[in-house]
């Protein structure tokens, strides 16, 4: 008796034209880009357990248009200053109390971001280290330094009680530079390649001056 065998039908999928598409994800070059919000999701830190907002952005213009980058704003109490600054740069009106923002209202908003490279697990990746409103010039105008008299300088020093590791870890390169200048820290950021190492060097210098604290306000 003849045994009948089933013949499998061939299946196919449609492949679009890939001739002008890169075969891998391209890292954005360092520089300043106008980027648009694509999506925002609330997630939880695997180790800290602290919630954060993960912002997905894409370049809005130029040769790198549609290239992606991501930015994280912590929802931890001590890091909310960064979320406020980010929202203000996007042009979002800051409410006077806790509230909700529709993600759809955020999608499409634009912001200027500064991209720098860092090494992570042996690979180079693009990192947003600073941001400005879309209407703000990417290059800051040099202003004449304000001359402080001894009394003002003393009052300013008395107001500063210290910084936590979390606050320093949330700082951009420009913020670290401002901190070094303000407290005359003996740190050369150019000697440290990655953002994390720059922050660690600043924390060490702050600790030497007694300005690194466990909790803000201590």
Residue 11 lies in a domain: no
pTM: 0.53
Say if residue 127 is in the same domain as residue 162: no
Q: Looking at residues 169-195, what average pLDDT do you find?
A: 85
Residue 104 lies in a domain: yes
Say if residue 187 is in the same domain as residue 129: no
Say if residue 101 is in the same domain as residue 159: no
Say if residue 110 is in the same domain as residue 80: yes
Say if residue 46 is in the same domain as residue 129: yes
How confident is the model over 95-141, as pLDDT tens digits? Answer: 889 888 899 999 999 999 999 998 888 888 899 999 999 876 544 44
Say if residue 118 is in the same domain as residue 163: no
Say if residue 84 is in the same domain as residue 155: no
* Other beta carbons within 10 Å of 59: 19
Q: Which of 24-33, 157-166, 209-218 has the highest mean pLDDT?
A: 24-33
Say if residue 114 is in the same domain as residue 172: no
Residue 141 lies in a domain: no
Q: In what order do the strands lie in the sheet with 51-59?
A: 68-74, 51-59, 31-44, 110-120, 123-133
Residue 166 lies in a domain: yes
How confident is the model over 44-98, as pLDDT tens digits? Answer: 988 888 999 999 999 999 999 989 999 999 999 999 999 999 999 999 999 889 8
Q: Among 12-26, 127-141, 147-161, 184-198, name the one with the lowest average pLDDT.
A: 147-161
Residue 116 lies in a domain: yes
Look at the chain and report how many structural domains it folds into. 2
- pLDDT value at position 43? 92
Say if residue 35 is in the same domain as residue 125: yes
Give how far Cα 198 sits from Cα of 3, 129, 170, Å.
73, 12, 12
Among 37, 61, 74, 82, smallest CA distance to 138 is for 61
Print the domain residue range for 167. Answer: 150-208
Instruction: Please give the residue that has the higher pLDDT: either 88 or 4.
Output: 88
Say if residue 46 is in the same domain as residue 128: yes
- pLDDT value at position 112? 95
Does residue 173 sit in helix, strand or coil? helix
Residue 139 lies in a domain: no
Tokens at 135, concatenated: 């209407």
How confident is the model over 147-176, as pLDDT tens digits? Answer: 555 555 555 545 557 888 888 888 888 888
Residue 22 lies in a domain: no
Whether the predicted pLDDT of 144 surpasses 50: no
* 68-74 and 51-59 beta bridge pairing: antiparallel
Instruction: Please give the residue that has the higher pLDDT: either 32 or 156.
Output: 32
Instruction: Please give the residue that has the higher pLDDT: either 211 or 12.
Output: 211
Say if residue 98 is in the same domain as residue 174: no
Helix (H) or strand (E) holding 128: strand 123-133
End residue of a domain, out of 103, 133, 163: 133
Residue 18 lies in a domain: no
- pLDDT value at position 4? 60
End residue of a domain, out of 102, 133, 164: 133
Q: Looking at residues 207-212, what average pLDDT do you find?
A: 87
Whether the predicted pLDDT of 210 surpasses 90: no
């Amino acid at each position: 008796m003849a045994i009948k065998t089933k013949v499998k039908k061939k299946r196919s999928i449609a492949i679009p034209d890939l001739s002008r598409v890169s075969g891998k994800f391209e890292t954005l070059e360092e520089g300043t880009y106008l980027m648009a919000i694509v999506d925002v999701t609330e997630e939880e830190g695997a180790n800290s357990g602290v919630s954060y907002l993960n912002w997905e952005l894409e370049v809005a213009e130029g040769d790198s248009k549609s290239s992606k980058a991501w930015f994280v704003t912590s929802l931890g109490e001590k890091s909310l200053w960064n979320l406020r600054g980010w929202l203000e740069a996007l042009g979002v009106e800051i409410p006077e109390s806790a509230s909700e923002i529709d993600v759809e209202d955020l999608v499409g908003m634009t912001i200027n971001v500064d991209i720098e490279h860092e090494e992570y697990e042996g690979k180079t990746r693009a990192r947003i280290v600073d941001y400005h409103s879309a209407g703000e010039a990417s290059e800051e105008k040099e202003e004449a330094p304000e001359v402080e008299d001894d009394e003002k300088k003393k009052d300013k020093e008395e107001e500063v009680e210290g910084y936590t590791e979390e606050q320093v870890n949330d700082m951009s390169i420009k913020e670290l530079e401002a901190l070094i200048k303000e407290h005359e820290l003996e740190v050369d950021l150019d000697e440290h390649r990655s953002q994390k190492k720059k922050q660690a060097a600043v924390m060490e210098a702050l600790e030497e001056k007694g300005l690194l604290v466990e909790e803000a306000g201590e």
